[in-house]
Amino acid sequence: MFQASRLTRHVRALFLPLAAGLALTALPAPAAHAASTLTNTGFESGTTGWSAYSPTGQSSASFVEAGGRSGASRLSHWSSSAYKVETYQYLTGLTNGSYTMTAWVRSSGGQNAAYIALRNCGSAEQRTDLPPTPDGKWIRLVTSVKVTSGQCTVSVNSDARAGNWLNVDDVSFTPGSTGLSVRGVDVSSLKKSEDRGGVYRDASGATADALGVLRSAGADYGRLKVWVNPADGYNDKTRVLQTARRIKAQGMRLLVDFHYSDTWADPGAQAKPAAWSSHTYEQLRSDVYAHTYDVLNALRAQGTTADMVQIGNEINTGMLWPDGSTADWSRLAGLLNSGASAAKAVSSSTRVALHLAHGGDNALYRQWFDNATARGVTFDVIALSFYGYWHGPLSSLQANLDDVSARYGKPVLVVETAYAFRLDSEDGHENIIDTTGELVAGYPASPAGQAAWLRDVMNVVEAVPNRRGLGVVYWEPTWTAVQGNGWDPADPSSGNGWENQALFGYDDRPLPAMAWLGHR
């Protein structure tokens, strides 16, 4: 990923107003009672089966009203004054084991806390925070827990400011567990940063190894891009081998991202490497195979076999233009299969991912992967870039993940996302995101806003049915402002435009968002 141009996205809130009268006239919730199964999951029978508790005496802030996701009714939390309320069912007589709560939600955002939770289950409470939904669309969330005491409380919680609201509908509590197997970081710029004097610190302020800090926070995958013959000598085979050793030494897995270019490859640029520029299509197929095999085999030889590999980077429009453009799908399919074949020849266990940008654009993904599958392109994982300030609301990401994972029977991985923790630049180079008008509604450019964004993207991926949501990779968390480590490999004076989206702050310490790499 690299977007040299800046895009502005205006999101208009479509909140459905909550009538204060409904909250005032709602009947008190019934007394808590125990059952062995969740009842009235769509709130079609009002508050039957559900209880409300408020430590501040505001149980009326929990009520059922018209406007359900699938039926006539929904649970709502709202009050004209600040409030705290929990809506819950207490289950008993459960067989011990793992259980998952699923709920469809909407939220105004702005609460001190708004989440679904499983508690009193004999193990640690598990919760999932509600994202703001300014487009008014429902988001499906999940949270899992291990029941060890034969009982569990299913609950919806608000600690809210005056006027904050949430909606919940279609709740379920079923055997099974969820979680993410990939909590990754793209650290392609790290080696150059360190070589140019970049410093990273731990939470106490002590100088530290950035990879070690990320690993301690929960990162379990490292992603590295590969350019063929870059102008600055970084992100080539030699440098990738060096950083791969460090990634594996941390006990992390390795994702190798082939750009098949000497510089940035993305939907607007897929330039051939200079050394391949005059080659015929058949030669390009051989080039792709040889280059892919060479890098991956060298990784295997040094004991750092790639766990996953991308054949191309953000290849919405193809790669190795013009030969591999989507204007000629047969040729593009041949190039993709050359790369996939090389990867599998080195290690049959290495998973092959195909990566597109615009992760909320379902029409794009259907058209692209329909063409790929129709031509027998080999792949194991569908990888997506999803930046909310460019690619739409979380509801669009969820709809696309749900659809393509089912349509093609493949796991999905958000292989790039990030968010700003401030808007000003540290190196004088204009940041890619640097105005409030470019932000995602409900997510300020602050450490808390950045953390909420990563948390909510991970929660959406975790909720993909049948555990087909592999996880999330944060893009370039170590690309801080270091002179000489700019975005243009041919221009040492270029800034990077990205330091306000790193996971290390301008004081070089970890930001709160980094803690979400430890997501369950």
What is the secondary structure of 178-200 as a DSSP string? ---SEEEEE-TTHHHHHHTT---
H or E, element range at 22: helix 20-25
pLDDT in tens, the chain (520 residues): 544 333 332 332 333 333 322 333 333 344 445 678 999 999 999 999 999 999 999 999 999 999 999 999 999 999 999 999 999 999 999 999 999 999 999 999 999 999 999 999 999 999 999 999 999 999 999 999 999 999 999 999 999 999 999 999 999 999 999 999 999 999 999 999 999 999 999 999 999 999 999 999 999 999 999 999 999 999 999 999 999 999 999 999 999 999 999 999 999 999 999 999 999 999 999 999 999 999 999 999 999 999 999 999 999 999 999 999 999 999 999 999 999 999 999 999 999 999 999 999 999 999 999 999 999 999 999 999 999 999 999 999 999 999 999 999 999 999 999 999 999 999 989 999 999 999 999 999 999 999 999 999 999 999 999 999 999 999 999 999 999 999 999 998 999 999 999 999 999 999 999 999 998 8
pLDDT score, position 33: 55
pLDDT score, position 26: 36
Prediction pTM value = 0.93
Contact in structure between 263 and 489 (CB atoms under 8 Å): yes
Residue 128 neighbours by CB under 8 Å, 6+ apart: 115, 116, 117, 141, 142, 143, 459, 462
Nearest to 430, CA basis, from 10, 2, 4: 4
Q: Which of 65, 416, 476, 499 is catalytic?
A: 416
Whether 438 is catalytic is: no
Q: Which of 314, 462, 476, 499 is catalytic?
A: 314
pLDDT score, position 1: 52
CA–CA distance, 65 with 60 (Å, rounded to integer): 12
Whether 314 is catalytic is: yes
Which 3 state secondary structure label does DSSP give 422?
A: coil
Nearest to 90, CA basis, from 150, 178, 44: 150
Distance of CA 439 to the CA centre of its chain: 17
Nearest to 388, CA basis, from 326, 472, 468, 462: 472
In the chain, what is the straight-line distance between the N-terminal and C-terminal CA atoms, in Å? 27
CA–CA distance, 237 with 482 (Å, rounded to integer): 23
